Structure 1
Amino acid sequence: MFLKTTTIEAKKMIGFSTKTSLTNDQTAKIWQQLMPRLKEIKNAVRADLFSLQEYDFKKFNDFSPSTEFIKYALIEVKNYDDIPENFEQFNLPSGKYAVFLHKGTFADFPKTAQYIFGEWLPKSEFELDDRPHFEVLGDNYKGHENTESEEEVWIPIK
């Protein structure tokens, strides 16, 4: 479901990353690194977590389940002054985003993606921009296997 378009300011984030694909999904590894260490982060902006993807923009139109991309498990911080050991820094650039609500399990996500990229985007006045895509896992996120789980899906547009 489409929620809105909005422009965000740049964000400072910390967490962990891995190279992955849909067929060789390594996402659990970075969340297993981040979650037990959240209490070490003293300057978080809020409790929301970010599941972020960096794609090779030139190859995005040919995306397949075996296409590799960089996946991040992140939290926004006020600054990089007190970063726990071994955490990576990530600077999310400012820009315009289309925001959607995904409700359901991870297995249901292809339906949401099909709506965004197959229906909404082609019919909109926007085109995909070459910036990170991300999901915000807030208060209504109940885990990737919970049918009542909700997350915001942020798609970069111009």
Structure 2
Amino acid sequence: MNFRIEILPEKKLVVLTQKMSIFENKTFLLWNSFMKRKGEIQNAIGSDLFSIQIYESNYFEGFNPKKEFLKMAGLEVNSLENIPNGMEAYVLKSGKYAVFEYKGNPKSGGEAFQYIFQEWFPNSGFSLDNRPHFEILGTKYKNDSDESEEEIWIPIK
């Protein structure tokens, strides 16, 4: 899997949020709700969608599929004014990331994360930073398609 190291500039987003776990995955519900309402978002910059995960600092210590995290579906904006009801403003802070180019069916994405955390990280010289993880779903993203492409952004230090 191809990767690059990148410094993300700060980004302003309008998001919907949902607490979930791997065991009780509510990603479909979150994105279904967001996609029905994304047209309400003013001041959008482009059409790339952000899928953000915020984990507690000890989340990755001992795998527990019932451990909860916060997931966000969002769109970048140039102003955090006029946020639609039920949505939130969120600022994704600047930081260093390992960016992986994932090509394949999003339903098989678990294999990509397994590679990143079990093979790439132990040999990379980097460690995981306690900042948001996210994926950018751009124009080449195709839900339920083997031809889909997205970027996986993992915070590093």
TM range (shorter): over 0.9
Q: What is the rounded CA distance, in whole Å, between the counterparts of 2:6 and 2:66 in structure 1? A: 31
Within-5 A mapping of 1:49-88: 49-88=49-88
| Alignment length (residue pairs) | 157
TM-score by length of 2: 0.94
4+ long deviations beyond 3 Å: none
Is structure 2 residue 117 aligned with structure 1 residue 156?
A: no
Offset at 1:107?
3.0
Per the alignment, residue 44 of structure 1 pairs with 44
Offset at 1:157?
0.2
Tell me the alpha carbon deviations over residues 116-147 of structure 1, each in whole angstroms, 9 at most, x when there is no partner: 1111111112100000000000011001x211
Offset at 1:6?
0.4
Within-5 A mapping of 1:129-140: 129-140=129-140
Within-5 A mapping of 1:90-101: 90-101=90-101
Q: What is the rounded CA distance, in whole Å, between the counterparts of 1:38 and 1:72 in structure 2? A: 13
Is structure 2 residue 8 aligned with structure 1 residue 12?
A: no
One-letter code of the match for 2:98?
A: A
**1:117 alignment partner, SS class:** helix
Determine if contact 1:140/1:149 at 8 Å carries over to the other structure.
yes
Per the alignment, residue 123 of structure 1 pairs with 123
Q: What is the rounded CA distance, in whole Å, between the counterparts of 2:101 and 2:51 in structure 1? A: 14
TM-score by length of 1: 0.93
Is structure 2 residue 112 aligned with structure 1 residue 112?
A: yes
Alpha carbon RMSD of aligned pairs, Å? 1.2
Q: What is the rounded CA distance, in whole Å, between the counterparts of 1:75 and 1:154 in structure 2? A: 16
Per the alignment, residue 35 of structure 1 pairs with 35
For structure 1, list consecutive stretches of 5 or more residues without a partner in the other structure: none
Offset at 1:20?
0.6
Per the alignment, residue 146 of structure 1 pairs with 145
Q: What is the rounded CA distance, in whole Å, between the counterparts of 1:14 and 1:63 in structure 2? A: 30
Q: What is the rounded CA distance, in whole Å, between the counterparts of 1:100 and 1:34 in structure 2? A: 25
For structure 2, list consecutive stretches of 5 or more residues without a partner in the other structure: none
Q: What is the rounded CA distance, in whole Å, between the counterparts of 1:4 and 1:100 in structure 2? A: 7
One-letter code of the match for 1:87?
A: M
One-letter code of the match for 1:150?
A: E
